[in-house]
Amino acid sequence: MGPLKGNKRIRFALLLGTLAAMGPLTIDMYLPSFPTIVSAFGTTATYVQVSLTACLLGIGLGQLILGPMSDVHGRKKPLLIALIVYFVASVLCVFSPNIGFFIAARFLQGFAAAAGIVISRAVVRDLYSGRELTKFFALLMLINNLAPILAPVLGGGILAFTEWTGVFAVLSVIGFLLFVIVLWRMDETLPEEMRVPSNLSHTLKNFLSLLKNRQFIGYALAQGFIMAGIFAYVAGTPFVYQNIYGVSPQTFSILFGMNGFGLIIGTQVVGRLTGVVSEKRFLESGLFISITSGTLLLIAVLMNGPLFTIVVPIFFFVASIGVISTSSFSLAMEKQGHIAGSASALLGLLPFILGAITAPLVGIAGEETAIPMGAIIFASSLIAVLAYFGLSREKVEQN
């Protein structure tokens, strides 16, 4: 299967973008339900945030396992199996009898959703390289970034008509429909002669070679820590906006969804100007925006500023992700075509492992303060900048 053109290219990007969006959909759609789930299970906000952590860990571990599997068995078969598991896990979430069972089901759901993220990226690398890789990935991200806009709005809309369990019923339907579409419409993109041997030592060798690649790790850490800040924002804003500032679930969904437009703007600027401005320059600009907005957010939460002083810097922080993710992915994957699944898995693993650590920390001081969220976002941005300039920048300039 060679590079696609015209309408077929757009249709394929739509499919891959939807598969990649399984992560944001699985994470974001139930956010407006957080206070409701606390009441439904008679538990605390911390335990509900642990369900988010479990999902993030599942997504991280799933990418680590399913990415290399797709290098061995091809892209389509592991994806189909994962979509079946996703459907089952979503149904288990609906019928969870207690918070412990729900957390376990969320882990399984996240693990299965990882296939959509990691395999869709590997498929892009199967088909494209160079500037075409950046352009197609930007198109993929345009579709993918609609999920943070639509997911919480859809989740809030569902809550207006039914219980929180309706969110997971919808997710189960999405998983089933994607299974059918992939089964009938998606061709295999990794020929058998391009697949790697099926043994653990070879997989570990691939990961070790990536871990020794200073330039690759610099990009991975920069993207990973920025995304850790995003997950702190994801876990914190449902309580910050609704409990501290008193907004409704529907208003929260709108505020949360607005940031998705920032993601789209950042992604498309990179995609459209990649022939004029280098990916390295885009990455540095995105990191500058993230550290600036993170600093302003920390000042605002320390001063107990009004809602707009929280919303505005968060918008620009989220927008920087569109620039950073697109450019860092292209730079990191460019020389990893022979092990694209493993490279994609490692790039995907770090954000979710780091996010699993930061997500529960935003509630460490209780539900009535935004300081932990602001501090984590600022610290994540700072570490991302240090990781890039300390590991990747020098190598790029030598090329």
Three-state SS letters, 237-298: HHHHHHHHCCCCHHHHHHHHHHHHHHHHHHHHHHHHHCCCCCHHHHHHHHHHHHHHHHHHHH
Contact 34, 45 (CB under 8 A): yes
Between 1.20.1250.20, 3.30.420.40, 2.40.50.180, 3.40.50.150, what CATH number should domain 6-188+196-398 receive? Answer: 1.20.1250.20
Query: What's the pLDDT score for residue 54?
Result: 93
pTM above 0.75, yes or no: no
Q: How many residues in total does the chain contain?
A: 399
Predicted local confidence at residue 19, as pLDDT: 92
Helix H or strand E segment including 129: none
Residue 350's pLDDT is: 83
Q: Where are the domains of the chain?
A: 6-188+196-398
- Angle between helix 146-161 and helix 165-185 axes, rounded to 10 deg: 130
* Res 365: pLDDT: 66
In this prediction, residue 82 carries a pLDDT of 97
**93: which 2 tokens?**
């979430």
pLDDT score at 395 = 43
Residues of the chain with pLDDT below 50 are 395-399
pLDDT of residue 122: 85
